Amino acid sequence: MRGNRLDVHTHGHNHRWGTIVEGSRKRLSHLSFGVFEDDFPRFKERLNNLRVPLLEAPPGFESNGLWFHSPDGLLMELRVADKTSPNEKSSFMMASAPAGTQSSPNRSQAPRTNPRRLAHVLVFTADVAASIAFYERVLGLRLSDRSNDGIAFMHGIHGSDHHLLALAKAQGPGLHHLSWDVGSINDIGLGAMHMADKGYAAGWGLGRHVLGSNYFHYVRDPWGSYSEYSADIDYIPVKLRLARSGQSRTRFILSVGTDTTQRLCGEPRDGELVGGSFHDSRNESTIISTILNTSLNCL
C-alpha cells in the first residue's frame, strides 16, 4: 500500500505490474509499455514524425516516459524499463501420478496458486482495425491473430507470448481483463476454487482458447472486469518466420460458460476465422520490449 494506492505484484517478482488507485468510479487510467534504453530516442522520433501529441503524466504517475493517447483516447506511456516478458515459452506442467498413488492433493493441503506474471491485457476499442494500425506503427507491435474486426491479438518482436495486448471491439476504450500466467491446469483450478471460496465465484472456464492456445479461467472482479488465470499460451520467438494466413486450426474447447465474456473471448464461428500470421522480426527499427505496467483507477 502507498497511501490510497495498492501496488500489484506477483510472487517472487520485483516488477510492479499495476496500481489500483482510489477513485470515484472505475476507470482504466493508463497502460505503460517498457522499451529498451537504446530504442527510446527512436520512439520519441517516431511519435514526433507521426505527429502524436505528447501529454503530461497524470498526477501521481510522473515519469521520464512519453505520454500520449491511443486513437480511442486511452492514455499510454512508453518508458525505459527492463524486459519482463519471457524470453522463452513459459514452463507448463501436466503431471500424472503412477498407479497406486493419489495424484490430487487433499483439499486442506492444496497449495495456493501464485501467478508468475502479468501476461497480457485485453482492452476495448471502438475500431479494432484502426487500433491494430496504431499499435503497429507507434509501438512496433505485430499482429498474431485476429477474428475479423471483432478481436485482435498483438505481440512484441523481442520474444513474446502470442499476445501481450489484445483488442476487442466495443463502444469505446476500457478494460476487459488482465491475464495472469500460471504453470499448470491444476494451478488454474486451484486458483479458481480459492477465488470462489473468497466470494468471487462469477466467471467463466475452465476452457482453452483457439487463438493463443492458453488454458483459462476468468474471475470477475468487483468492478465488472476480469482477471484470467492462464497457462501454456503459445510463444512467438524472435526468429519465427511462420505465415499461417488463411489456415484454419483444430478447435479444442474444454468448456464454455454462458458469461458475456464468451462473446469477447470465445472462439470464432465456422468461417469466421481470419487467419492471421506470426510475423517475423524483420530487421526494422521497430522496438518494443514487452513489459506491461497496468495502472487501474478503480472505485
Q: Minimal distance in Å, beta carbon 79 to Fe ion?
A: 24
With contacts defined by CB under 5 A, name the span among 34-42, 73-81, 167-175, 227-235 that binds Fe ion. Answer: 227-235
Per-residue string for binding with Fe ion, 138-177, x by CB under 5 A?
----------------------------------------
Q: Which stretch binds Fe ion (CB under 5 A): 27-35, 178-186, 190-198, 241-249?
A: 178-186
Q: Which is nearer to Fe ion, 65 or 207 (CB)?
A: 207
Q: Which is nearer to Fe ion, 35 or 118 (CB)?
A: 118
Q: Which stretch binds Fe ion (CB under 5 A): 20-28, 70-78, 102-110, 225-233?
A: 225-233
Stretch that binds Fe ion, among 5-13, 26-34, 71-79, 222-230 (CB under 5 A): 222-230
- Closest to Fe ion by CB, 187 vs 228, is 228
Sheet holding 151-155, edge to edge: 142-147, 151-155, 165-169, 117-125, 174-181, 226-231, 215-220, 203-208
| Inter-helix orientation angle 128-139/40-49, to 10° | 130
Q: With CB under 5 A as the contact rule, which of the stretches 7-15, 29-37, 134-142, 226-234 interacts with Fe ion?
A: 226-234
Nearest to 95 by CA among 255, 210, 231, 229: 231
**Min. distance of Cβ 214 from Fe ion in angstroms?**
7
Closest distance of CB 280 from Fe ion, Å? 24
Residues paired with residue 179 on neighbouring β-strands, in sequence order: 120, 228
What is d(CA 270, CA 77) in angstroms, rounded to the nearest whole number?
38
In whole angstroms, how close is the CB of 230 to Fe ion at the nearest point? 6
Count of Cβ atoms closer than 10 Å to residue 242 Cβ: 11
We find the least distance from the C-beta atom of residue 168 to Fe ion, in angstroms, to be 10
Q: How many residues bind Fe ion (CB under 5 A)?
A: 2
Q: Least CB distance from residue 223 to Fe ion, whole Å? A: 17
Supply the minimum distance, in Å, between the C-beta of residue 122 and Fe ion: 5
145 vs 228, which CB is nearer to Fe ion? 228
Site for Fe ion in 89-148 (CB under 5 A): none
Q: Between 158 and 209, name the residue whose CB sits nearer to Fe ion.
A: 209
Nearer to Fe ion, 77 or 228 (CB): 228
Q: Is 179 in the site for Fe ion (CB under 5 A)?
A: yes
Q: Does the footprint of Fe ion cover residue 295 (CB under 5 A)?
A: no
- Helix, strand, coil percentages in the chain from 3-state DSSP, rounded to 5: 15, 30, 55
- How would you class 40 by CB atoms within 10 Å of its CB: exposed for 0-12, middle for 13-18, buried for 19 or more? middle
User: Residues 53, 56, 57, 63: what is their CA dihedral angle, to the nearest 10 degrees?
Assistant: 90
Hunting for cell 495498492 — which residue is that? 6
- C-alpha cell recorded at residue 177: 481483463
On whether the CB atoms of residues 183 and 231 are closer than 8 A, the answer is yes
Q: Residue 18 CB, nearest distance to Fe ion (Å)?
A: 15
User: Which class for 295: exposed (0-12), middle (13-18), buried (19 or more C-beta within 10 A)?
Assistant: buried
Per-residue exposure over 56-73, b if at least 16 CB sit within 10 Å of its own CB, e if not: ebeeebeeebbbbbbebe
Contact call for residue 228 and Fe ion (CB under 5 A): yes
Question: Contact 112/212 with Cβ under 8 angstroms?
Answer: no
Q: Return residues touching Fe ion (CB under 5 A).
A: 179, 228
